[in-house]
Every structure is written in structure tokens, then in C-alpha cells.
Chain A
Amino acid sequence: MVEQIKQFFIQIGDLSRFASRFFKEFYKPPFEFKELLHQCYQMGNRSLVLVGLTGFIIGLVLTLQSRPTMIQFGAVSWMPNMVGISIVREIGPVITALICAGRIASGIGAELGSMRVTEQIDAMEVSGTNPFKYLVITRILATTLMLPLLVVFGDLIALYGSALVENIKGQVSFQLYFNTVFNALSFGDLVPATVKSFFFGFVIGLVGCYKGYYSKKGTAGVGVAANTAVVMASLLLFVVDFIAVFVSDIFYEL
């Protein structure tokens, strides 16, 4: 037990050092723009279908499940407001981030892990290219930049799913539904959600890269790196979410 707690704090320390190395090397040339664009495509574009499908189902299910209770209280006309606010503020960013933690963090962990055990990272270093800049900085930046865009996309699809249920079950037009949603949303709903999405993206990239970059013990280590990257990223996402909500409450009085 004591050993496990010790290991936990060692990992947190190592992760913090890894993050500080990111900020130190981020500003230094050469900048790997081509690789950054490639990673943005891999992480952003390739996640669209998964995020879209999940968002659509979440919107659909949330509305279907809440509808009977709302009808009971005679508050069904508040449905777009409730669904809109809950998706934009919390459900959209968290669900999208969790999906990306599963897809992207494990992918980065496995990719960098296998590059480490097959000496590809060493080969890069010997050839004079800084592997940290080429592999780590580009991936962390790509997840940080792409996650907010995926969250916006996921939110819109989730709202569309919800509008579809309201349209079929309550004969509410799409125009009326979206007008009500956008009227209900304020600046204080959009800004904190967008800002925390950047942090979610950063955490996913950071943990995936950290686990893969320091992968050990051969091919078995690659599996461990991919697996622990998902677990650690998912846990950290909730911690970041808690901090984000706490800080937003100070500024926007949620």
C-alpha cells in the first residue's frame, strides 16, 4: 500500500517534469509545422465520426430519458434550455474528452511505446532530430488544438439528436428548438466550457506521450503504456473538470 502511494507520487512528479520540459522546449526552434498538421489531421479529422456518433446518441438518449419527467412537472417547454445548457457546459466536453482519451491517448501511448522499444526514438536522436520536439510537442499541441473543435462539433451533433426527438415526439420545429437553445446559453456557459476543452486536450496528449515515451520492458510494455495512458488520462480529466468548474464558479457564479 505504502509502495503504491509512493509510486503514485513518483508518477505525478515525473509527469510534472515532463510537462515542464514541454513548456521549455515549445518555444525553441526548429518548429515542426508539417508534423503538427499531420497530427492535427490524424487526431481531429479521424475522430470526427466517433465523436459525432457518440454526441448524436447522447443528445437522443438524454432527451428521451428526461422527457417523461419534464412532462410530469409540466416543464417540457424547458427541454431545449435544459439539454442545451447541460450539453454545452458539461456533458459535451467531458464525453468528447473521454472518447478522445480512449482513442487518442491509447494510440499515442502505443505508437510512442513501440517506437521506444524498437529503438526508433534513439535512431531519431542519433540522426540529430530532437525526438521530444518532433514526437511529443507536436502531439500535445495537436490534441490541445483539436479537442475544443471536436467538442464544438460533438455539442452541435448532440443538440441535433435532441432536436430530432423533440421534433418527432413534441412536434417542435428545428428552428424553434435551436432558437430556444441559443437564447438560453450565455457567455458564461460557452467560455469556461471552451477553455476547459483546451486543458482536456493538453492532458490527453501529455499523458499519452508521457506513457509512450518512457515505455519499458519490450512489447509487453507497449500494451501497458497504452492501457495506463487511458486510465490516467481519464482520471486526470475529472480532476481538471473539477478545478475548471470550481474556477468558473468564481468568475461567472454558475
Chain B
Amino acid sequence: MTNDANTYQETVKSLDKKEEKKAVIRIRDVRKSFGDNHVLNGFNLELLEGENLVVMGKSGSGKSVMIKCLVGLMLPDSGYIEVMGKEIASLDHETLDELRSDIGFLFQGSALYDSMTVRENLEFPLRRHKEKLGKISDTTPLVLEALENVGLADAIDLMPAELSGGMKRRVALARTLILKPKIILYDEPTSGLDPITAKEIIELMRTIQKKYGTSSLIITHDVDCARVISERMVLLVDGINYAEGTYSELSASTDPKVEAFFKK
């Protein structure tokens, strides 16, 4: 079978899936500026249920701003953002907090609480959302389950300062998983890690996606990460979704702006 035929089949498959699945995240014409710096210029995106969607863009292209707008950490200047059927801008604090329990967020620098042990870091999200997982008197089994998922059950009583960069990222992933979210947002999950650890983290993300059936939105500029994990990709250029498609479609593109992402 030729390359073209392969690409055609992939596209057909992805379109079929798109028809079956409903969108858990919808972004329509979102604009965000910081002074004269127009970061997002009418950005559009749709994340389908159970899908792994990668958003690629250069540093400073507005990827992190976009992902922060999704969880209400930032408000867009204009446009429409809907997560699991709820428009973010119209939600009050209570409802937004409830919605956030269904969204896991893996921060670029892990963002573990320095003054707390690994156990306390994982227990922290449970303080507010205990009712989501039923009545829990002892949180230890939940913490252990989340840590076992990332292969770090032994690190339960360590402080973040005692962990390596890769371990921190794993613990942060375990903290993201503890509330069993339906959507996971990854902000540069492999940045600052050596290639081997980065590969391990990517493998872990795939395992988690298979195990829990989560929808994942991955922000990255790591082409290897995008190749392994993406089902669909969006390229963010000049504040808009410049190109969209599967990895093989985009990597075969002759558009200079798209090509620039895949050049080694």
C-alpha cells in the first residue's frame, strides 16, 4: 500500500471517529492580547471524547495561555470556550470548581507544593472534591493507587526537593489522576527532561489514556512526543489554528510554516 493510500485511510478513520464521538472541549474564535501582543487571534479547537489531541506551536505562541483559559485561570478577551457542555465564562466559582474536578492539569514545571510531602500533595485535591469519589475515611489507598499508576509508590513520604525532575513529573501526573478526571490537559509534559525520561513520561501518558479512557489535550513543541501520542494535531501559528490533521498528514505538508515544525 502506498503512503498516499495510508494517509487517506487514516483521514477516513479519524473522520469516522469524529462523527461518533462528541466534543468535550470547544473553543470558538478566542482572542487574547497582552498590551500590543496579540497572542490568540481567533483560535478554534475541538477535543473529542477519548481523543489525544496535540497542539504544537513555537515558544510564546500562546499555547499555555490557551490551556489556562480552558480551566478559567485566565479569561479570554473575546470568544467562546465550552468544557463538557458548560461555557467557562458564564460559570460561578462553585460550578467552575466542580467542573475542575473533571479536568486534570499537568503543569509545565510539575508545580508540586514544596512544603508538603508527596502524600500531602496527592491528598490536597481530595480536600475539596472528596464527595466525588464517595465517602472516604482513609485516603491512603487512593494515594497509593495513583502513585502505583506512575510507578512511585515508594516515594509516598518524600518531599518534592528529594525527587528528580522525572519523578516530580510522575508525581504531578499522579496528583492529576487522583480525582479520576475525564479530561487531562498536559502543558509541555516532556520539557526539561532527558530523552529517556521524556519517553517514559510519554509511555505513561499512553497507558493512562488507555486505562481510564480520558480525553487528552497535549501542548508541546516536542515533535517526538507529538508523533508517538497524537491522534490528531493542531498547529498554532500567529494566534490561529494554522493547520490541522494527523501527524503523517502534517509532517508530509509542503507549507513552509508547517514544515518548520518537523525539520530536524
A residues bordering B, Cβ < 8 Å?
Answer: 30, 114-115, 118-120, 122-130
Contact = CB atoms under 8 A, between A and B. Distances in A.
B124 A129 contact: yes
Contacts of B179: 127
A128 B108 contact: no
Contacts of B186: none
A119 B114 contact: no
Contacts of B125: 127-129
Contact of A126 (B105, B108, B109): B105
B64 to A, nearest CB: 10
Contacts of A125: 73
Interface residues of B, number: 24
A29 B40 CA distance: 37
Contacts of A123: 105, 107, 111, 113
B43 to A, nearest CB: 20
Interface in B93-148: 93, 97-98, 100-101, 103, 105, 107-109, 111-114, 124-125, 127-129
A125 B105 CA distance: 11
Nearest to B108: A119
Contacts of A114: 114
Given A118-B111, A127-B128, A128-B100, 9 more contacts: A30-B128, A114-B114, A119-B111, A122-B73, A126-B71, A127-B125, A127-B129, A128-B97, A128-B101
A118 B93 CA distance: 23
Contacts of B100: 126-128
Given A125-B73, A127-B100, A119 B107 contact: yes
Nearest to A127: B125
Nearest to A122: B73
A229 to B, nearest CB: 18
Most buried by A among B101, B108, B113: B113
Nearest to A123: B111
A124 B125 CA distance: 8
A115 B107 CA distance: 13
A124 B124 CA distance: 8
Contacts of B128: 30, 127-129
A118 B73 contact: no
Contacts of B108: 119
Nearest to A125: B73
A126 B175 CA distance: 12
Contact of B127 (A119, A122, A129): A129
Contacts of A118: 109, 111, 114
A115 B98 CA distance: 24
Nearest to B115: A111
A115 B71 CA distance: 19
Nearest to B104: A126
Given A126-B73, A126-B103, A128-B101, A119 B109 contact: yes
Interface in B62-80: 68, 71, 73
Nearest to B105: A126
B111 A128 contact: no
A128 B105 contact: no
A107 B98 CA distance: 33
A119 B107 CA distance: 7
Most buried by B among A115, A120, A122, A130: A120
Contacts of B112: 120
Contact of B124 (A30, A115, A122, A127): A127
